[in-house]
Structure 1
Amino acid sequence: MDFRKQAPPPTPVTIRGADVEIVEDYRYLGVHLDCKLDWTKNTNAIFKKGQSRLFLLRRLRSFNVGRKLLTMFYHSVLESVVFFAAVCWGSGVKIADANRLNKLIRRAGSVLGVRLENLEEVSERRMLKKLLSIMDNPSHPCTPIEAHAAKDSLPRNAGNPLYRWQ
């Protein structure tokens, strides 16, 4: 016998007189959004796409394509898939999912013969860049007056991708 209380169903959301349907997950612009903000389904889709692109990168290397062209292929084809909307999901992803994506990035780095930025570095840099762009825009609804004072207190090199928060 189960003695747990069952949560009441959420009240329906209405926008302009129309009820909004409640769904478990939704795909919007290629990003899988979950009702509990669990990014595992999104990470699985990214990993699957990334593996197929990594295969193409390896095939190019087997044809003795130059490193500059391989790097260009990585940035345009593989990196764009892996880091798409990382500002949205990058900090909320589970450690196991982040490790899977970082492993994919490390494999691509070994194909290229260079060390590539991992998921945490890229998402942190992009989130900081987004934050600074919001703070620079006085008409943005998320920019209170105090934000401009807070921006002045940030380190000068905070926008630099080589800068790491301590």
Structure 2
Amino acid sequence: TNDDLKLNISKTKEMIIDFRKNTAHQPTIIHGEEVASVDRYKYLGVTIQEHLKWTSHISIQAKKASKRLYHLCKLKEFKVSSKLQELFYHATIESVMLFACTVWGNGLNRHDEKKIRRIQKIVQSISGGNIP
């Protein structure tokens, strides 16, 4: 059937997940155009890598969370109550750090885990241990 669906090849990406070593893959061609091959792809806010590692996703999320630490410092500086600081942390920093953790939770390497723990230590030092 003809459903008038037009495929935009320039927006189409291909990511091959293959754990074998030294395998060559032929490029995918649709309507005479080659589909771009990528080694990582962001889907619904989760960055997926071709070998199913989570380093890119954790790095992006850690960077976002680090930027928000400044606001937590300002709340502390303005002597906002520790309860509101904790609420801010859970809503804006922890939620970013743990986004999609049900997917990547068991797949972290030590380097990625250190990034998360580093931000948690900074939060503890900013809050004086008031935020669990």
Whether TM exceeds 0.5 here: the answer is yes
Say if 2:85 is the partner of 1:74: no
CA RMSD of aligned residues (A): 2.5
Change in Cα spacing, 1:67 to 1:6, as seen in structure 2 (3 Å) is: closer
Say if 2:125 is the partner of 1:84: no
Change in Cα spacing, 1:21 to 1:74, as seen in structure 2 (3 Å) is: same
Cα distance in 1 for partners of 2:131, 2:95 equals 17
CA-to-aligned-CA distance 1:69-104 (integer Å, 9 cap, x gap): 000000111111000101111211210111111110
Residue ranges of structure 2 left out of the alignment (5+ in a row): 1-20, 29-34
Structure 1 residue aligned with 2:130: 114
Residue ranges of structure 1 left out of the alignment (5+ in a row): 13-19, 117-166
Contact 1:24 1:35 in 2 (8 A): yes
Is the helix fraction higher in 1 or 2?
1
Say if 2:23 is the partner of 1:7: yes
Contact 2:123 2:131 in 1 (8 A): no
Change in Cα spacing, 1:8 to 1:83, as seen in structure 2 (3 Å) is: same
Partner amino acid for 1:7? T
Residues 55-74 of structure 1 correspond to what in structure 2 (within 5 A)?
Answer: 55-74=70-89
Q: Larger relative CO (CA 8 A, sep 6+): 1 or 2?
A: 2
Cα distance in 2 for partners of 1:6, 1:94 equals 24
Contact 1:26 1:32 in 2 (8 A): yes
TM-score (norm 2): 0.70
Residues 89-104 of structure 1 correspond to what in structure 2 (within 5 A)?
Answer: 89-104=104-119
Cα distance in 1 for partners of 2:96, 2:104 equals 13
